[in-house]
Chains A and B, each alone.
Chain A
Amino acid sequence: MCFQQKMIHSLFLINCSGDIFLEKHWKSVVSQSVCDYFFEAQEKAIDVENVPPVISTPHHYLISIYRDKIFFVSVIQTEVPPLFVIEFLHRVADTFQDYFGECSETAIKDNVVIVYELLEEMLDNGFPLATESNILKELIKPPTILRSVVNSITGSSNVGDTLPTGQLSNIPWRRAGVKYTNNEAYFDVIEEIDAIIDKSGSTVFAEIQGVIDSCIKLSGMPDLSLSFMNPRLLDDVSFHPCIRFKRWESERVLSFIPPDGNFRLISYRVSSQNLVAIPVYVKHMISFKENSSSGRFDVTIGPKQNMGKTVEGVVMTVHMPKAVLNMNLTATQGSYTFDPVTKVLTWDVGKITPQKLPNLKGMVNLQSGAPKPEENPSLNIQFKIQQLAISGLKVNRLDMYGEKYKPFKGVKYITKAGKFQVRT
């Protein structure tokens, strides 16, 4: 008999030390040995992040993602859209996170039966079946301490025995009959700045990746409209399926019946250079002396274009060149660590006060006899600014139709550094 296996055939979960701690086969069993090809690639890549996501083996393809120190390795046998698989794997990881609070080997092992039930529910014959957490939670109840106690007393199960209401309606993301005593709708506008700053401090590249994450706890079938002060900013947007695209096209208003609970309403990208303000600047002086096995390191971070808000949670990480043995630095603020094995320097700065700029300087010890490092390290900066969306995006108002009650509404803004790199 000739099998033609479709879509996702099997899934292996592998931890960082290379143990396969869970396998799930949606069709016939594929031997674990298929993962040897993966291990081979992993070995070649040295760094876990560098394992290529698509690996071909004589009979299968392995498509993998790396999340939370776990490799999700799926086995594919035919031509399948790889993005489809990768998206699905991320969805699996998201679901674990959602169910168990963390996506870790322990959490998965602790809840192996639920994991198995979830995987079975998420994929049928290799086709995704139910991936919306709302629906899954109706089918398979997430574990809680209370319920496991109750279950063990009453013998009831954690599997829902009715068909999830949302499963087939035209709004599959929402279940019917939601009831809350306090009706609330919260929106978090979160913006991350991705930027590359060159040696001289000018911006090589900068863009803002923004999302609006929502937490909606509203009874019944509310129909919401969210409008912005400056919707023109949003020209490259990805929407949650609940959003009525036509309405956005014509009126630039987000109109939707929300899913219940937490979800990502939109994600957007602002790339036109003049709109991307860079909230911090870095003055740096990193040099290695020829033939003296030492170098100097001097970095100052200061605020810039932060609309009067405080820049906080500042952390700088630097991958120092291999030849660096140790670093003797003094920080005027915060604390630093240098890991001589991974060569990573981390400086936890905290809040930046414009009056006294944080500075870190001192000596770098190099391996004696080794040639002077060619490359200069890039500085990776993290920071946070509360109550500010750096793009200037502002929510104008939220209206609710279809229900009588008055909900409590709230909007929060936050700006963070995404991949924010300063070249030296």
Chain B
Amino acid sequence: MTDSKYFTTTKKGEIFELKAELNSDKKEKKKEAVKKVIASMTVGKDVSALFPDVVNCMQTDNLELKKLVYLYLMNYAKSQPDMAIMAVNTFVKDCEDPNPLIRALAVRTMGCIRVDKITEYLCEPLRKCLKDEDPYVRKTAAVCVAKLHDINAQLVEDQGFLDTLKDLISDSNPMVVANAVAALSEIAESHPSSNLLDLNPQSINKLLTALNECTEWGQIFILDCLANYMPKDDREAQSICERVTPRLSHANSAVVLSAVKVLMKFMEMLSKDLDYYGTLLKKLAPPLVTLLSAEPELQYVALRNINLIVQKRPEILKHEMKVFFVKYNDPIYVKLEKLDIMIRLASQANIAQVLAELKEYATEVDVDFVRKAVRAIGRCAIKVEQSAERCVSTLLDLIQTKVNYVVQEAIVVIKDIFRKYPNKYESVIATLCENLDSLDEPEARAAMIWIVGEYAERIDNADELLESFLEGFHDESTQVQLQLLTAIVKLFLKKPTETQELVQQVLSLATQDSDNPDLRDRGYIYWRLLSTDPVAAKEVVLAEKPLISEETDLIEPTLLDELICYIGTLASVYHKPPSAFVEGSRGVVHKSLPPRTGSSESAESPDAAPSGGQAAEQPAVIPTQGDLLGDLLNLDLGPPVGGPPIATSSVQMGAVDLLGGGLDSLLRSDVGGSPAMGSGSGFAPAPSTAMPANLGAPLSSGLGDLFDLTSGVGTLSGSYVAPKTVWLPAMKAKGLEISGTFSRQVGSISMDLVLTNKALQVMSDFAIQFNRNSFGLAPAAPLQVHAPLAPNQSVEISLPLNTVGSVMKMDPLNNLQVAVKNNIDVFYFSTLYPLHILFVEDGKMERQMFLATWKDIPNENEAQFQIKDCSLNADAVSSKLQGSNIFTIAKRNVEGQDMLYQSLKLTNGIWVLAELRIQPSNPSFTPVPVPFPTFLAASFLWVGMSCVALTHLSVYLRTCCLPALAGLPAVAGFGVVPEMPSTGGVPVHLPSLRNHPEELRCCCSPSSSSSPFPPKEAGAGPVCMSPFLPAKEPAPGNVPPAPGPWKPVLPSLVGLG
């Protein structure tokens, strides 16, 4: 007789039958009935109607019956809250039972009944149980506090249960400690602000003691709790590590991984010179490998975590390549993960083995796996230069198999190999072309087209090949269309004579027959480029491509560091911070790695350079696929640039110093010393067409003048507001005098005006209008003068401004032409606005980004000048600048000089990076004056530095340049880093462009209106292409003639050589 009989009753009258049985006098019958009820419950039948009858069975001395009733109660109390109250008395009674098992059972069940009305009755019994003499009851009660907190947090706090729970951390029984920790962590997670688990060396010691004695599950809770602790110095970190290390030999893999988390985190604090550091590294490898012999599900989670660990500390597993070799009967999800890690571990030492394996995998059955294996071969070629030749020949072998998907994958990776090793393997192009017809996947087609376009001069029939693709142009995917457009333009630039018809055809296909905005925009840009300045077009389209990075799909370092703190959790499986996916992510606190406190801080750049290379070789990061934002950024800036953090993580990143000392030291070695700065820009070809430095803006006043202007004006907080000056004297405007100034407050710009009527008649009907200007400043609201202005009266008005107006480059840059109208006449005047009103609040650049950007800015975009006679120290400077949204990214001291690294961002997305060197009085120092546009010199002045003593302040500015994107003239030699449209700004995914920045430069005109730069259609207004036609800008006059709608014309192409 088995329990399966309970499943067999399915007839209609079942509930009635059960009801009768439950009310039977016979104990046995009752029990049988309850069992039947439970059985129905397990298969999801609704037996809640029996609630009163089942509760009636509760008062029994039969433990099994009691348990069963409790089981039932937990399931249905929520739906029958009134009935549940009936059970309260029994609970209270059971909590006093001499048998600890019953006491514990009662307190456990109580907590599971999620009914508000009941909870208050439970406080007293719970309080007793928390102090029970039996540890089994205490540990059960500890968990009950967490349950109760979930139902009614206020009640738990009012009743003082939290304090009792904290006391339990010092309990003599390790099981109680573990459960108390678990309960507290759970509560703390939902209330991140409550400082519930304030860990200190004493409590840590208690936890470590309990760690050795409690159950495996308790160990997990304690280890996870330890991972949140910040040891005060490296010695403490080491001693904790020493006590945690034995957990690595635990049979429970969750314990092992939690221990790995603690060690990985605290290792940050240990100096690499320590012997112990090396020992720890050695100890970490075996347990990680052992995880791979567990069940496939465990393997999968372990592999996802190992993927993170390998990126963070590749040295741990560098000798363990073989354990990641794929077995044919591994589940596919394990195979793919293993492959990923194999590539990460590939090095010159083991490349032969890896390649042999990969070749083996490429003949497997599973298509996804085969594809990834082929791709992996390409990645090996790019990563390990010595192997490139072998990889290419392997790929050619694979192409010979003619297996369709293998060929397509191979072509995609060969394209990347061409990029990495130009002029080396082009001999294989012929083989590739043979397979042209078999390509049916967009990515492979796009790759092939890229190859044809790129090497058009070597392929005799390139035009025929491309033309053949053109026939079905509209049926191709966007990716292929874009690529085809670019390839044909390239072909045209290389062989202009034969291909004019072709290029015209593709341009008209793209611009006239397509409804894809990206394609259209790219078409127009090429068209215009070709028609305006074919030489420039050649320079742009056929520009030398930046090198592609060795590592792909690396996780961005700050995110990686955060994920290391989440080893073993879902975040580590998804490789996303918990805030990105945990539902209702209340209580998600960003975790960060502890700063290194070791002595060898000076020259090291340990953390942020996972490849273990020099700090200068910051690995280029191509964020994981599917991360559009990262993709785009990389495309734009071109490797090697550390991509900015993924949007979700960046939000709070500024506040948390993720890398702490690590980054400081990185900055130090990277940017340190001025020579490094000079050479830094030579590090990689800037992705932009370098603009000749056009520092043309005449200095309207010398630096000294400016200093005078600001002396004594110093507001410590808030943006500086200059005193009002007269803009329009009364005599020039028929009695209307206008004086004013500009200010910026919490993100909004305003023009503060005083209108004075010096005429003899009443003035009314005021209106204001701005001419086009460099930053698109425009009134955000009409000029509001409520009452007519009587003679000799003045009115103060604050006019809100925005920056969405039309853009035209002015000279000087910050010139603003204003027209004011009243009932008498229209008056014109121009004024210079201080640039700092355009510095936006989010101008604080991510450190990592700052570092990468700094290096990539070409020398031409650099200017240097000195401010003398300024008596502020670094901190004061920093806080003053901050008031005007010039943010200090890092600060350091070199040979007694304070260096500040500043960033600011203009409303149109231009970043300006600056290095400020504050020298203590050094009278012999003769500054070399560097021509410098007024506005930047001034921008520091407006902040208001008083000049009293002998202090030199050198300002070193760098900006990046990507003018085509900004929709703005390259500003006086200061280019622009386009501000990336926020997520959703550019909804098209352009993966194939990853390695082709030259195309993007010309095409990344955003296609959605939510982006900061509205799409420009032909004729919609002046399209500023100044980098390509720098001298042709209309001279700024009072009323510049409105440029007529631009029409693409081709005739000028004829003269192209």
Contact = CB atoms under 8 A, between A and B. Distances in A.
B217 A131 contact: yes
A376 B64 CA distance: 59
Contacts of B256: 238
Given A22-B43, A54-B570, A82-B573, A111 B249 contact: no
Interface stretch (B359-367, B515-523, B877-885, B1039-1047): B359-367
A28 interface: yes
B301 A82 contact: yes
B156 to A, nearest CB: 14
A375 interface: yes
A235 B286 contact: yes
Given A127-B182, A157-B62, A159-B64, A1 B151 contact: yes
A25 interface: yes
Interface string A155-168: 10111111100011
A421 interface: yes
Interface string B134-163: 111001100110110011000000000000
A86 B253 CA distance: 9
Contacts of B327: 194, 196, 419, 421
Interface string A244-266: 01000100000000000000100
Interface in A177-230: 194, 196, 198, 204-205, 207, 209
B254 A238 contact: no
Interface in A48-67: 49-50, 52-54, 56, 59, 61, 63-66
A26 B582 CA distance: 20
Interface stretch (B67-75, B451-459, B1023-1031): B67-75
Contacts of B251: 238-241, 264, 267
A78 B582 contact: yes
A84 B75 contact: no
A238 B301 contact: no
A124 interface: yes
Given A3-B150, A6-B146, A128-B217, A158 B64 contact: yes
Interface string B56-91: 000000111101100100010010000000000000
Interface stretch (B108-116, B122-130, B850-858, B892-900): B108-116
Given A3-B150, A21-B43, A52 B179 contact: no
B35 A113 contact: yes
B3 A111 contact: yes
A50 B333 contact: yes
Contact of A124 (B143, B254, B357): B143
Contacts of B578: 79
A314 interface: no
A418 to B, nearest CB: 8
Contacts of A322: 365
A17 interface: no
Given A170-B213, A271-B289, A23 B365 contact: no
Given A65-B297, A80-B570, A375-B365, A423 B143 contact: no
Contact of B302 (A83, A132, A198): A83
B11 to A, nearest CB: 19
Contact of B300 (A27, A52, A269, A423): A52
B100 interface: yes
B325 A49 contact: no
A45 B401 CA distance: 27
B134 A163 contact: yes
A87 B252 contact: yes
Contacts of A144: none
Contact of A29 (B75, B146, B295): B75
B591 to A, nearest CB: 11
Contact of B246 (A29, A81, A158, A245): A245
B562 interface: no
A109 B217 CA distance: 28
A290 interface: no
Interface string A393-424: 00000000000000000000000000101010
Contact of B44 (A20, A56, A160): A20
A112 B6 contact: yes
B140 A205 contact: no
Residue among A66, A84, A86, A235 with the highest chain B CB neighbour number at 10 A: A84
B28 A155 contact: yes
A204 B325 contact: yes
Interface residues of A, number: 105
Contacts of B583: 59, 77-78
Indicate the size class of the contact surface on chain B: 35 or more
B301 to A, nearest CB: 5
A110 B302 contact: no
B911 to A, nearest CB: 35
Given A83-B568, A238-B290, A269-B290, A113 B3 contact: yes
B286 A269 contact: yes
A127 B100 contact: no
A86 B301 contact: yes
A116 interface: yes
Nearest to B31: A157
A83 B357 CA distance: 29
B99 A162 contact: yes
Given A49-B331, A152-B1, A245-B249, A65 B143 contact: no
B216 interface: yes
Nearest to A130: B215
B373 to A, nearest CB: 12
B571 A6 contact: no
B569 interface: yes
Given A53-B297, A64-B297, A128-B217, A238 B250 contact: yes
Contacts of B254: 81, 83-84, 86-87
A323 B325 CA distance: 27
Given A53-B300, A157-B62, A163-B136, A168 B571 contact: no
Given A53-B300, A81-B569, A127 B143 contact: yes
A306 interface: no
Nearest to A245: B246
A50 B136 contact: no
B104 to A, nearest CB: 8
Given A125-B143, A125-B146, A155 B569 contact: no
A168 B175 contact: yes
Nearest to B27: A155
A349 to B, nearest CB: 19
A111 B2 contact: yes
A32 interface: yes
A322 B367 CA distance: 14
A398 B1020 CA distance: 90
Interface in A121-135: 124-125, 127-128, 131-132
A125 B112 contact: yes
B250 A239 contact: yes
B42 to A, nearest CB: 5
Contacts of A120: 67, 71
Contacts of B732: none
A86 B296 CA distance: 10
22 contacts: A3-B150, A22-B42, A49-B296, A56-B574, A78-B582, A83-B257, A83-B568, A84-B220, A112-B6, A116-B71, A117-B67, A120-B71, A125-B111, A155-B28, A158-B64, A161-B101, A163-B99, A241-B216, A249-B246, A269-B293, A378-B328, A419-B327
Given A112-B38, A127-B217, 4 more contacts: A6-B150, A20-B44, A120-B67, A204-B356
Interface of B: 1-4, 6-7, 27-28, 31, 35, 38-39, 42-44, 62-65, 67-68, 71, 75, 78, 99-101, 104, 108, 111-112, 114, 116, 134-136, 139-140, 143-144, 146-147, 150-151, 173-175, 179, 182, 186, 189-190, 213, 215-217, 220, 224, 246, 249-254, 256-258, 286-287, 289-290, 293, 295-298, 300-302, 322-323, 325, 327-329, 331-333, 353, 356-357, 360, 363-365, 401, 403, 566, 568-571, 573-574, 578, 581-584, 586, 588
Report, nearest first, the 4 A-B pairs whose CB atoms are least far apart.
Answer: A236-B286, A110-B2, A157-B64, A53-B297
